[in-house]
Structure 1
Amino acid sequence: MSDKRQQLIETALELFYQEGVQSIGINEVLKVSGVAKKTLYHHFTSKEALVLATLETRNQRFSQWLTVQIAPAKNNQELVEHLFQSLKGWFEDRVEVLGEFRGCFFINTAAEFRDSESEISRYCRQHKSDIKQVIRQQMATYADQPDETLLERICLLKEGVITQAYVAQDMSGPEQAIELLKGR
């Protein structure tokens, strides 16, 4: 990947995550990145293409980070504890690779797009599916058949605690989720 392309993605991701996709225009991305408009359009045919590239980058980072965080789990209870304690670290801005916590980039971005069938909305849904698969794969490392009911509950609570942490500024969700899932 070219340095300029990556610079554009990094700048746009930071701006979009901090301010929202619709609030940030291409000119702001160009100004902050210091990249020429011609270069931007050489790499991205539209703002939508740039948004999709930022979603892809964030998806990869989040998936890799989460995979590492839950990898030590040897059973479902440990998985729950690793997952929700890791989320708490993110909420408390202790996860450098994810940056300052501003909620879920995918929820935030999907909320900005009215068309639920747009490529951007579909990518946001795909991210949620990808993360569920990361958790399922970890469950499969210690169980022949991952507990699909538990997986659904974990994913539902995960989304809830992320939203609660950002919207309500209530950081107690991870501990509550661990308690709710204890012994499952």
Structure 2
Amino acid sequence: MSRKRQILVDTALQLFYEKGVNSVGINELLKVSGIAKKTLYNHFDSKQALVLAALKQRNDKFMTWLEMNLNEASTDKEVIARLFHGLSAWFTDSAAELGNFRGCFFINTSSEFSDPCSDVSQYCQYHKRQVRALISKHLSNPSPELLDTICVLKEGAITIAYVNKDFSMPQKCISILDKLL
């Protein structure tokens, strides 16, 4: 990836995550990135293409972070603890690789695209499937109900942490899930 393209993607991800996709115009992106409009359009044929590149970069970062958090778990209890303790660190801006917490970039972005068949919405759905598959890979209990519960609680914890600024949810989720194991 060229250096200028990477700067554009980095800047887009930062601004889109901080302010929302529809709140950030191309002129703001160009000003913050210091990249010329012609260069932008040499790399991306539309704002949507840039949004997709930002989503891909965030997905790669999040999946790497999640794999690192779950990799050492040897029991389902450890998977759950590592997942929700990791989320807690993210919520309190202690997961440096994820940056400052502004909720789920994929939920936030998909809410700005009303067509569930759009490429952006499809990519957000893809991300959620990838997260689910990675959690499933680390669980020894193949129960779909357990996996559903973990994923629903994870999404709820992220939303409550962002909307209500209630950072106690990860510990509550661990307590709930411990009763199911």
Please classify the TM superposition score into its range, dividing by the shorter chain length: over 0.9
Where does residue 77 of structure 1 map in the other structure?
77
| Structure 2 partner of 1:108 | 108
Shift in Å, 1:147:
2.5
Structure 2 residue matching 1:182: 3-state secondary structure:
helix
Residue equivalent to 1:53: 53
Question: Which residue pairs with 1:31 in the alignment?
Answer: 31
Q: Give distance in 1, aligned partners of 2:174 and 2:24.
A: 37
In structure 1, distance between residues paired with 2:113 and 2:14:
19
Question: 1:173 pairs with 169, 172, 177, which one?
Answer: 169
> Residue type of the partner of 2:132?
K
Correspondence 1:124 to 2:110: no
Under a length normalisation based on structure 1, what TM-score does the superposition of the two structures give? 0.96
Q: Secondary structure at the match of 2:72?
A: coil
Query: The residue matched to 1:112 in structure 2 has which SS?
Result: coil
Give the CA deviation at 1:146. 2.3
Aligned to 1:182: 178
For 2:148, the equivalent position in structure 1 comes to 152
Would you say how many aligned residue pairs link Structure 1 and Structure 2?
180
Gaps of 5+ in 1: none
Q: Deviations over 1:120-167 (max 9, x none)?
A: 01111110001001111112xxx3x62222111100000000000000
Percent identity, aligned pairs only, is 52
**Counterpart residue identity of residue 155, structure 1:** C
Distance in 2, matches of 1:79 and 1:173, equals 16
State the 1:170 CA deviation: 0.6
What is the aligned-residue RMSD (CA, Å)? 0.9
Query: SS of 2:111's equivalent?
Result: helix
| SS in structure 1 at match of 2:106 | helix
In 2, Cα distance between the equivalents of 1:182 and 1:137?
19
1:116 Cα deviation (Å)?
1.4
**Residue 92 of structure 1: aligned partner:** 92
